[in-house]
Amino acid sequence: MENAFHFQVNLGGMLDILSNHLYKSPDVFLRELLQNAVDAITQRKILQPSWNEGEIVISLNHGTMAFTDNGSGLTEEGIHQFLAVIGQSSKTDLINGTFQQGIEDYIGRFGIGLLSCFMVSDSITVHTRHISDKRGYIWTGLPDGTYTLNPAPPEVDFPVGTTVILKAKPGTEKYYTYEQVEHLIQYYGLALPVPIRFQGQRDKINQIPENFVQTSQTQLLGFGSWVFGTNFLDVIPIHTKHLDGAAFILPYETSSVVKGGHRIYLKQMLLTESGDRLLPSWAFFLQCFLNTTGLRPTASREDFYEDEALEQAQREFTLEVSQYLNRLSQQEPELLRKIVHIHFQAFKTIAVWDEDMFRLIFPYLPFQSNKGEITGEKLLKTGGFPYVADLNKFRQLKSVFLSQGKILLCAGYTNDEELFQKMHYIYRFPAFPLKEQDLYDALQEPTLDQRDAASWLVRIAGQSLEKFQCGAEIKQFLPVELPALYITNDDDGVFRKIQNAKQTANEFYSDIMSSMLDSIDGRNVATLFLNMNCRLIKKLCSQKDADKVKSVIRILYVQALLSGGFPLQERELRMMGRELLNLVGEDSYDF
Amino acid sequence: MGLFNKNKGNTGKEKPKAFDGERLHSRIERMPNGAPQMTALEQAIQQADAAQDHFWRMMFRYEYACEATFHDDPPKAMPYASEFSSIYEEHPDALPEDSGAEAYLMITQIAIDPIASLPQIPFSQWENLMERFMELIKRYHIGLRTYWSQYCQFYQYVDKEKAYDGFQRFWRTGRDGLSDCRACERSLAVKMCLMMDDWAAAESYSKIMEQGRLRFCSSTPQRYWLHYLEYALDHGDLKEAEKRANALYRKTRNEKTDLSYYGAILRCFSFTDLERGAALLEKQFPLTVRMWDQKLVYDFYKGAWCFCYRLAKERDTISLDFPEGDFPIWNVDGVYRCSELADWFHGQAKGIAERFDLRNGSDYFTKDLELAGKWLD
């Protein structure tokens, strides 16, 4: 028979783990207290259905905090069971089937929340009286894992409910000030349905609109401004099975990497500021105040558990935003234009993912062309254009096209190429990747004088590139700094592909690749266009040293390949090195 | 294709990655077939290479090869097939065991297939690659039926008895994961039977397709219709030819791989419908420009020759909008003498036929061209 052993648990070490590794900051102790208090009030409501006077009162006095709720309280048995056993929660019982009624109404479930108070206090004292008891109990827990439990003195009349008393640890005094507590209550518990007050004050610390859908837009924007400190562009009320609240549209451009800044609550208790799990990746133009129901928190209660319900909530959110944008497009197109203009990156992401949204948003989206910004609407009206997906290539070619009065689109920014492909797919709109022929058409012929001046250079260049089956021609184009452009003559660059394949081909393919190459031997498969507007090319025209000119031309050839985004072959890399050596006076090579 | 572990559900929470092959693939496969997909795949290959993601290095090459084979110019698949082969030999574990071997054999077949259409590749090199294919078949225990299919398709231009023998071996060998769709296999059977002048046998293979009792892939029924159409034209059966040509014309897709269909349809229209023939010639000629696959070009030029030859009997000139720079006898006014066009197309087709026959050591193409001319007067 196998021997069974028990793990030894070091409570002090475990508290350290919980305090310093599970929770992000000591702030959460207040969240845990709020959570336990609201759950106790919920439990009392279940036990006393006609009772509806739940409240939380906080008293602060020189480094001491008394956090009181008038919920169901704990029995003696309950204290041993729930305050002293990690992983045991009064709510766990409910989950395990002991008490199933109303499980969805409870916030917590892990039974470790109270331990977070050790982050700000060296002791936790709990005064509690269960709704069914005549007397209360005093429980005191210490971080070393020991605790005491005593009945309340007969002369002390504990009301039904629970008070947690904390005393500031050195360095945590700020958590015992009115300002900080109010801030944290509004941060974590703003959406809680239970009124929270300071002792002796009538005003509630927490208050939000009762119904986001029925609240006026002005009031919602005012609420958003109060919570987030921003005057938003517009607001989208959200009301679905899992979500309730509002998504505020930021008035300034933001980045897709920004995931924080939201207020996302689970059952009215703040869960996270990060929209990373709940919100779609394109939602970075929104700042959300959302209460969620039916979703599961992780153990740290700092994010959502990824499950089917979370995915459903994401879909619901997407649908709400889509419907809002749809409405804008029909009723307030100018506002939509303004929003898309500010948040075009977010909207491009939306358009990539969602075909319906693509159709809706595309006309408003801005794109980069060599003639400046151009909207999707204009693109659709004016006809088809070539695009380049490489930003460097676009920069290299835009002036060349501009000098010819032709439009070249840049698809080098995030999502643009996908959108052009989608545009082709949906509208059959001919936005097509730049073909070599388009490029060829954009180059200007040299003057007759320039042609004369360059004839020797062109001949030398042709000789120096013969091995690469690349011809040389003189043209003039912009920018003047660009000395040469490499353009393949075959439609799809098949020749270079075969050359590339031959480099790595095994014995079975090597001969076949050679045969394919042999079939086009004797004709150039590419052309290096030398720019007569460029000083370097002009200078080369007047050079006398043919070898040096050949070296420069070969280097320009490799440079043109690189700037054109062509993968370099080994022999071209080797040649580059050799020619550079040649230029600095080492000519001990044979090429 | 069954090689990808696709996970396309968008929950909107995907995090940006340096290289995301799955996402790239998902974008590309939604693009129109042919050039748009191939251009996108080339860029995807570059990205996968840069990321050294061997799975996607191979899969994008595989996708490109398939796209070239089924929607563009099949020989364009060959460089990528060669690269796939090298990558797979070096990183066999980058693909799942079974589907990886299947993809490897499939892309080898894709590389073998167009050799028949490239007269510049010597016969011995085709034999070497077939030998390699057999080694892989023995190694992975699939693909023998495909081997015999390739064998008979090449040998039909070399030695029809050997081709038919290969076909019989093909039909006797069991199907496996590498086999063509059943309709394509039956289309090959029809072709082989018609090659042997056995109309009845051809009908026995096509009957099930004619009755619509066999599921067609995107390449069928065009393939067996083409074989019947060519046989009918070669034998002067215009009634049968017209029926097949009209049906085939409706199924064409304006793709380069349709050029054989267009050629045969043009031959038929030269007898039955000159107006539609002129429109077809003008519209589809640009597809032949800079084509690597010489068999497709030959088929189209043969049909164009027949059409222009027959047209010349009706009229001296015709207005056609051919692309400047891509047509050696291009006229600025777009008006061409029909006989001149006929001579040019015939000269081109004859040149290709001679190169094929020289490589194959036979007179198949020369005789094929003569046969087409037999019915023109």
Place of tokens 């919602």: A220
Q: Does the distance separating the beta carbons of B82 and A504 come in below 8 Å?
A: yes
User: Is B302 within a domain?
Assistant: yes
Is B83–A504 a contact, with Cβ atoms under 8 angstroms apart?
yes
The residue range of the domain holding B341 is 252-377
Q: Which of residues 9-28 of B touch A (CB under 8 A)?
A: 10-16, 27
Which residues fall within 8 angstroms of residue B163, CB to CB, at 6 or more apart?
B151, B152, B153, B154, B155, B156, B192, B195
- Asked if residue A288 lies in contact with residue A247, where contact means CB atoms within 8 angstroms, the answer is yes
Percent of chain A's residues with pLDDT above 90: 34
Structure tokens at A299: 């153990």
Confidence of residue B7 (pLDDT cuts 50, 70, 90): very low
Q: What pLDDT sits at residue B209?
A: 84
Task: Return the closest-CA partner of residue B319 out of B305, B337, B307.
Answer: B337
Predicted confidence at residue A301, as pLDDT, reads 67
User: In whole angstroms, what is the distance from residue A413 CA to residue A398 CA?
Assistant: 15
Q: How far is B257 from chain A (nearest CA, A)?
A: 16
Q: Which of residues 255-314 of B touch A (CB under 8 A)?
A: 290, 292
CB contact (8 A) between residue B80 and residue A501: yes
B23-33 burial string, b = 16+ CB within 10 Å, else e? bbbebbbebee
Inter-chain residue contact A280 with B12, CB threshold 8 Å: yes
- Length of chain B (residues): 377
Task: With CB atoms and an 8 Å threshold, state whether B31 touches A508.
Answer: no
Name beta bridge partners: A529.
A473, A485
Question: In Å, how far is A187's CA from the nearest CA of chain B?
Answer: 25
Nearest Cα of chain B lies from the Cα of A460 at a distance, in angstroms, of 27
Contacts of B31 in chain A (CB under 8 A): 421, 424-425
Which among B39, B125, B128 has the least Cβ separation from residue A433? B39
Residue B57 lies in a domain: no
Question: What mean pLDDT is predicted for residues A241-253?
Answer: 93
* Shortest Cα–Cα distance, B166 to chain A (Å): 23
Residue B202 has pLDDT above 90, yes or no: yes
| Most B-contacting residue of A286, A387, A419, A516 (CB-CB within 10 A), to test interface | A516
Compute CA distances B249 → A130, B224, B258, B269, B281, whole Å: 87, 13, 10, 10, 13
Three-state secondary structure call for residue B35: helix
Q: Is residue B313 part of a domain?
A: yes
Q: φ, ψ for residue A181 (rounded to 5)? A: -65, -45
User: How far apart (Å, rounded) are the C-alpha atoms in residues B101 and B139?
Assistant: 9
Q: CB neighbours of A273 closer than 8 A, spacing ≥ 6?
A: A260, A261, A262, A263, A264
Which band of pLDDT confidence, cut at 50, 70 and 90, is reported for residue A256? low
Asked if A512 and B120 come within 8 Å (Cβ–Cβ), the reply is no
CA distance to partner chain B, nearest, from residue A466 (Å): 22
Q: Which residues of A touch B (CB under 8 A)?
A: 256, 276-277, 279-283, 311, 314, 318, 353, 389, 418, 421-422, 424-425, 432-433, 490-494, 497-498, 500-502, 504-506, 508-509, 511-513, 515-516, 518-519, 565, 567
The better pLDDT of the pair A107, A126 is held by A126
Nearest CA in chain B to A354: B10
Q: Looking at the partner chain, which of B13, B32, B86 has a beta carbon nearest the beta carbon of A280?
A: B13
Higher per-residue pLDDT: B262 or A146: B262
Least CA distance to A389: which residue of chain B? Answer: B43
Taking CA–CA distances from B123, the nearest residue in chain A reads: A512
| Amino acid B13: pLDDT | 40
Fold of A217-326: Ribosomal Protein S5; domain 2 (3.30.230)
Q: Is the pLDDT of residue A522 over 70?
A: no
Which residue on chain B is closest to A282 by alpha carbon? B12
Residue B10: the pLDDT is 37
Name the fold adopted by A443-489+524-583: Four Helix Bundle (Hemerythrin (Met), subunit A) (1.20.120)
Task: Find chain A residues with C-beta within 8 A of B78's C-beta.
Answer: 498, 501, 509, 512-513, 516
Minimum Cα–Cα distance from B87: chain A residue: A504
Q: Say which residues have a Cβ less than 8 Å from residue A559's Cβ, sequence separation at least 6.
A: A483, A484
At A587 the pLDDT is: 58
Q: What is residue B239's predicted lDDT score, i.e. its pLDDT?
A: 95
- Report pLDDT digits (tens) over A454-463: 999 999 999 9
Which residue in B has a C-alpha nearest to residue A505's C-alpha?
A: B82
B168 touches chain A (CB under 8 A): no
Quick one: pLDDT band at residue B235, thresholds 50, 70, 90?
Answer: very high
d(CA B283, CA B277): 10
Q: Is B78 on the interface with A (CB under 8 A)?
A: yes
Q: Are B120 and A505 an interchain contact pair (Cβ–Cβ within 8 Å)? A: no
Q: What is the rounded average pLDDT of the residues B112-137?
A: 94
- Label residue A417 by pLDDT band (50, 70, 90): confident
pLDDT of residue B54: 95
B12–A494 C-beta distance less than 8 A: no
Contacts of B11 in chain A (CB under 8 A): 280, 311, 314
Per-window interface: B 87-146 vs A, CB < 8 A: 89, 111, 115, 118, 120-122, 125, 128-129, 132
Q: How confident is the model at residue A379 (pLDDT cuts 50, 70, 90)?
A: confident
| Structure letter (DSSP) for residue A171 | T
Mutate to test the interface with A, among B82, B104, B324 (most CBs of A within 10 A): B82
Q: Poorest-confidence range of A132-141, B36-45, B262-271?
A: B36-45
Give the minimum alpha-carbon distance from B87 to chain A in angstroms, rounded to a whole number.
9
The gap between the terminal CA atoms of chain B, to the nearest Å, is 48
Q: What's the total number of domains in chain B? A: 1
Minimum distance, in Å, between the CA of residue B129 and any CA atom of chain A:
6
Query: Given phi > 0 = left and psi -120 to 50 = alpha, else beta, which region is B152?
Result: alpha
Could you tell me the pLDDT band of residue A432, with boundaries at 50, 70 and 90?
A: confident
Kindly report, residue by residue over B15-63, the tens digit of the pLDDT: 444 788 998 888 787 676 777 788 789 889 988 998 999 999 999 999 9
Closest chain B residue to A499 measured between Cα atoms? B79
CB nearest to A512's CB, from B10, B30, B78: B78
Residues of B in contact with A433 (CB under 8 A): 36, 39-40
Position A178 scores a pLDDT of: 93
Q: What's the confidence (pLDDT) of residue A224? A: 92
Quick one: what percent of chain B has pLDDT higher than 90?
Answer: 71
**Tens of pLDDT along A2-41?**
556 666 666 667 666 666 666 667 888 898 899 889 889 9
Give a yes or no: residue B289 inside a domain.
Answer: yes
Smallest Cα distance from A42 to chain B, Å: 34
Q: Can you give the residue ranges of every domain in chain A?
A: 11-198, 217-326, 365-431, 443-489+524-583
Mean pLDDT of A262-279: 86
Q: Which amino acid is at B365?
A: F
| Contact predicate B303/B263, CB 8 Å | yes
In a domain, residue B282? The reply is yes
- Cβ–Cβ below 8 Å for A506 and B15: no
Cα of B376 to nearest chain A Cα, Å: 33
Contacts A500 to B, Cβ<8 Å: 79, 83
Of B14, B27, B115, the CB nearest to A421: B27
> What is the DSSP secondary-structure string of B328-360?
TT--TT-EEEHHHHHHHHHHHHHHHHHHHHHHH
Residue B315 counted as domain residue: yes
Question: CB A513 to CB B82 under 8 A?
Answer: yes
Contact yes or no for A353 and B10 at CB 8 A? yes
**Does B370 map to a domain?**
yes
Q: Which residue of B has its CA nearest to A491?
A: B290
| CATH class of the structural domain A11-198 | alpha beta
Does residue B149 fall inside a structural domain? no
Of B76, B111, B118, which is closest to A492 when you measure between CB atoms? B76
> From CA B307, how far away is CA B311, in angstroms rounded?
6
